[in-house]
Amino acid sequence: MHDEPILQTYNLSKRYKKRWAVRDLNLIVRRGEVFGFLGPNGAGKSTTIRMILSLVKPTAGRVELFGRALLRNRGSVLKRVGGLVEAADFYLYLSARRNLEIVSALRGDHSSGDIDRVLDVVGLLGRAGDAVKTYSHGMKQRLGIAQALLGNPELVVLDEPTSGLDPQGIKEVRELIQRLSQAGTITVFLSSHLLSEIEQTATSMAIINQGSLVVQGTVAELLASGPSVIRFDARPRERALEILKASPLVDTATVVEPYIQCTVRREATAALTRDLVESGIAVHAIIPRRSLEEYFLSITEGTSDVHAPDLSPPAGITGERLP
Ligand SMILES: Nc1ncnc2c1ncn2[C@@H]1O[C@H](COP(=O)(O)OP(=O)(O)O)[C@@H](O)[C@H]1O
Ligand SMILES: [Mg+2]
């Protein structure tokens, strides 16, 4: 079931005036995947999603959904797709259920069973009678996802669904996406500007930068590929640098203030830390980064409109990012 392509783009391109927002993008999303679409702000994620949902007309290239050209089968294929682009708009003084009833009726669907089902999926059934204005940001976002789930779509496309949420809201939405995919009947396409976000939810991913595809593959493959980088905060530093340079596990070791940065070909964090400690070195911090992470940070750090706190080097010794 994971082999059948459900969404494919062929040289998909969009130009605004003289600028290409998306250029020659070839994506392939297979049934049952959670597909992460990762890129810094301004990379072209929303433009791509709008073209997939037929909200924006491509300048060149095309989209195929369920093996059929979107352009010629718009009505029939889009019935099988649910989308959430930016935050959904709701009537704040009406209840969640009433809001979904209105959307449902606009779609020509009047089955109230479907509304209860989607409210249940997103965990809002108990609050369905409350006015949306009493909802937290995370609850509103879950309601937006509920709306995207109306009509039982085979593919759900979510544009930065955790953007702007607090850590609790992020956790709720992430768990919801995991639940959706575990049911096995739905394919999820979600965008994000955070690698950690994609890593935790997606099974496959593509990275886009300045409108072009950088890489695409399974998350496990991409995160395991290539050399990785470890940063040590170790004292005395000169002695630590000598030890790391002499290690057969280390390809290169250089000072990147205030750290020593090593490139290694395979996982070596534990062995190198032990070598340092056994030589009497005080290790204050260890920051491992995979090559994909290193790469993604290098392209995003060079982008001025990225919010620095989201992508700053991790705090603490585990390399975990703060939420
Ligand atoms: N309606 C538009 N008119 C002109 N330029 C646009 C429009 N929408 C997006 N862009 C430009 O296209 C590029 C990609 O934007 P977008 O797809 O929103 O990126 P992302 O969602 O990855 O942050 C940006 O340079 C943006 O300024
Ligand atoms: Mg966007």
Mean pLDDT by 10 residues, the chain (323 residues): 86 96 97 95 96 96 97 93 87 96 85 88 94 93 93 94 88 90 89 90 94 91 78 96 95 93 85 95 89 73 40 33 37
Which pLDDT score is estimated for 184? 79
Which pLDDT score is estimated for 2? 55
Which pLDDT score is estimated for 205? 94
How far apart CA 40 and CA 296 sit, in angstroms, is 9
**Class of the CATH-defined domain 5-223:** alpha beta
If you take atom 2 of ligand 1, which residue's CA is the nearest one?
A: 16
Nearest to 289 by CA among 196, 207, 172: 196
Separation in Å, CA 265 to CA 83, 210, 218, 229, 299: 41, 29, 20, 9, 21
Separation in Å, CA 195 to CA 206, 268, 310: 11, 22, 10
Separation in Å, CA 264 to CA 63, 230, 248: 40, 8, 9
Say which residues have a Cβ less than 8 Å from residue 239's Cβ, sequence separation at least 6.
279, 281
Q: Label residues 104-127 b or e (16+ Cβ within 10 Å = b).
A: beeeebeeeebbeebbebbebbeb
Which pLDDT score is estimated for 120? 92
CATH fold of 227-289 reads Alpha-Beta Plaits (3.30.70)
Contact 143, 132 (CB under 8 A): yes
- Model pTM? 0.80
Which pLDDT score is estimated for 49? 97
Q: Where are the domains of the chain?
A: 5-223, 227-289
**What separation, in Å, do the N-terminal and C-terminal C-alpha atoms of the chain show?**
34
Which pLDDT score is estimated for 301? 65
How far apart CA 82 and CA 158 sit, in angstroms, is 8
Atom of ligand 1 nearest to the CA of 17: 4
- Cα 43 to middle of ligand 2, angstroms: 8
How far apart CA 55 and CA 13 sit, in angstroms, is 14
Ligand nearest to the CA of 45: 1
Which pLDDT score is estimated for 313? 33
Which residues line the pocket of ligand 1, CB cutoff 6 A?
Answer: 16, 21, 39, 41-47
Q: Which of 9, 18, 47 to mutate to test the pocket of ligand 1 (most atoms within 8 A of CB)?
A: 47
Greatest Cα pair distance, the chain, in angstroms, is: 73
Other CB atoms within a 10 A radius of the CB of residue 95 amount to 17
**Residue 322 is encoded by which pair of tokens?**
């703060």
If you take atom 25 of ligand 1, which residue's CA is the nearest one?
A: 42
Which pLDDT score is estimated for 269? 87
**Residue 264 is encoded by which pair of tokens?**
């290694």
